[in-house]
Structure 1
Amino acid sequence: FLAGHSLGGVAASEFLVKHPELVGIKVKGIIFLASYPARDISYLPIKSLCIYGSEDGILSPKTIKEKKALFPSSTEYVEILGGNHSQFGSYGLQKGDKEAKISAHEQISIVVKAIKEFLEKYTSQR
């Protein structure tokens, strides 16, 4: 599985564009944290999870919805109500982001739970 927050998700998806032969063999899925693919990867037969915050001032939920066509068709979406962009990491409030309406601990707990469930679902398949 590949994963990335913000531009890290873009980089992970670019890796898949450049190495589609690894999809399903070495890479079973991709996880986007407040991110989306910069180019169309909807054609790739890969599991995908996109987690984003309702209060994200860097990458708005509206933008995620507008970019849905770029994601793999299997993508599961998790919106964290009250979550923002900055609380996916621990680096303080990023310029341009909105204030979160939930604590950083609560946001990270939701992220961990969603990723854990996603990985368990697709790593238990042999």
Structure 2
Amino acid sequence: MNDRRRDGAAVERAAAAHLQAAGLRPLAANVGFRGGELDLVMLDARAASRVVVFVEVRHRKSAAFGGGAASIDAGKRRKLVFAAQQFLLQHASLRDLPCRFDVVDASGPADAPALRWIEDAFRADD
């Protein structure tokens, strides 16, 4: 595994742990589809209704040129929405639940990143 992949995996583990500590339950990680990939899929059951959460984890060693969340352009959002649709097609029990797209913006060293969780960062129809 190269350094970039190893760093990415470490940041995704940190993001997943952060979200779990906040009450979300993991459903899947690194789910790839032709045309898109989902970093994390979580279930948010903190409110009365459960919500499927598709989480994009973005890491930048420095926020000097903008954080990771700023790098999610319209093309990336389309790929995430497509991947989420594919995921839901394969998981019939989740299809009728509301969904949202969150971003975990990570900065600093991969082994101890600073994490900023942005709930409902964008909508499928953005």
**By percentage of residues, which structure has more strand?**
2
TM value normalised by structure 1: 0.28
Higher relative contact order (CA 8 A, sep 6+): 2
